[in-house]
Chain A
Amino acid sequence: MCKEFEPKIAAFLCNWCSYAGADLAGVSRLQYPPYTRVIRVPCSGRINPFYIMRGLYEGIDGIWVSGCHPGDCHYQTGNYYARRRFALIKNLLEFIGIKKERIQFSWVSASEGGKFAEVATKVSNEVKKVGPVEKLVREKRIYD
């Protein structure tokens, strides 16, 4: 039996914009693939780049971080700082040979339910296409 690959995607959504955007997408009955696991965070600036590496380490196939558009941050500047961090971690991981599709970032505001569904679909499809993560993953099970 060959089951279709269902990726695991950790979606770190900022409480004030993207999470509300996801909410709106849900209320509007927009469809997107069911692979994302949402983790609500106060701000995209709260995302320690180590979370991204830790995600890969635990065998998460894709990591998607989403926050408010620049200028809209609930805490004024959180996403500006985050932007610099993300640029560096994304480049670093790509540099060592992690597929760029696995690390995704987006700005989704509270009113962009449509964009949320669209990005979620894109991220899901891209991660699905690159297959299960193998690099940097620790031993997933003790009993094989």
Chain B
Amino acid sequence: MRQIDKEKFYKELNSLIGEYTVYAPVGDRVKKIKDTKEIKFEGLLTRFPAKEHMLPQNEELFRWNRDKKIEVKIPDTKAIIFGIRPCDARAIASLDPTFNTEKFPDPYYINRRKNTIIISIGCNNPDDTCFCTSFGSGPFDPTGSDLLVVDTGEKFLGIGKEKILDMFGFEEGNDGGEFEALKKKAEGKIERINLAGIKDKLDSLKETDFFKKISYKCINCGACTFLCPTCYCFDIEDMERIDGGKRVRIWDSCMFTIYTQETSGHNPRKQEERRMRQRIMHKFSYYPFLYDIFGCVGCGRCISYCPVNFDIRNVLKTIGGMDE
């Protein structure tokens, strides 16, 4: 397996700053860095997912001047996202089928995605709230990352695209089974939830009071959806100033009443249980139906940061335990 000295890797990464915009974990967010010394890992996952660099919370679609002449700027900066976890990388990949469609491709997202190299770092020590193995993935899954590095103390083991490995100068070498050992150890710590047939089970539950019962607890804030690395829903808003204006897309959340509120006053998802159903079904029924992947990567952020400790694992377990 190809490997590199950590020090050398960081030096290489440092030299790429300038040519690339480099984002890396700084405390609880993935931020743009000017030097690799700024990188600060705090806990396993950054509190805020890296999706903000693919789909910013506020993104200008176009702007216009006083004469209403429209100007568009499609992002074209080359970027590297380093240090996110494999689940976050897979989460970004899971946005592709939504935004990179044949008929209405989203140029902003596609360009960003095309110009970004994602380097994730394997989780030697997963959290209690992790449940990525339930999705057939794991703490060392390179899917979605251009390069996955595994920290062995002094070295980084690298799996990924040849081109990227060469870019950093990963050398051929023998890891002495360390990768497999780390992988086994990490995966052993993660709770696996049985998701077999979850889509059909959910579909059969959609008109029952199952969702009403579980939605009692939820206070309908947007914490889970804003911190979720796979949630992408947005709102489009115009911002007007004296010298023109801009149309901006802004993250939105299916947990808000206003999300589906129509001008007439009619709201198809006024009830809390319907919004809860939307969130869970979107991730575990609609997404598999449409794109054959789950809309969840098991990062556990929604569990750790939920104000009322709404635990999606329990919901999945309850459904999984049901007979069809």
A interface residues, Cβ below 8 angstroms from B: 139-143
Contacts and interface: CB of A to CB of B under 8 A. Distances in A.
Main secondary structure of the interface of B (DSSP, over half): strand
Which are the 5 A-B pairs with shortest beta-carbon distances?
A: A142-B244, A141-B243, A142-B241, A143-B243, A141-B241
A140 B63 CA distance: 14
Interface of B: 63, 65, 239, 241-246
Contacts of B244: 142-143
Contacts, number: 18
A143 B63 CA distance: 9
A141 B242 contact: yes
A142 B245 CA distance: 6
A79 to B, nearest CB: 34
B37 to A, nearest CB: 31
A142 B239 CA distance: 9
Given A139-B241, A141-B241, 14 more contacts: A140-B241, A140-B242, A141-B242, A141-B243, A142-B63, A142-B65, A142-B239, A142-B241, A142-B243, A142-B244, A143-B63, A143-B65, A143-B243, A143-B244
The winner among A140, A142, A143 for most chain B CB atoms within 10 A is A142
A125 B69 CA distance: 40
Nearest to A139: B241
A117 B225 CA distance: 54
Nearest to B63: A142
18 contacts: A139-B241, A140-B241, A140-B242, A141-B241, A141-B242, A141-B243, A142-B63, A142-B65, A142-B239, A142-B241, A142-B243, A142-B244, A142-B245, A142-B246, A143-B63, A143-B65, A143-B243, A143-B244
A106 B96 CA distance: 59
Contacts of B245: 142
A36 to B, nearest CB: 20
The winner among A139, A140, A141, A143 for most chain B CB atoms within 10 A is A143
Nearest to B242: A141
A2 to B, nearest CB: 22
B309 to A, nearest CB: 31
B246 to A, nearest CB: 6
A143 B244 CA distance: 8
B59 to A, nearest CB: 15
A140 B244 CA distance: 10
A140 B239 CA distance: 11
Contacts of A139: 241
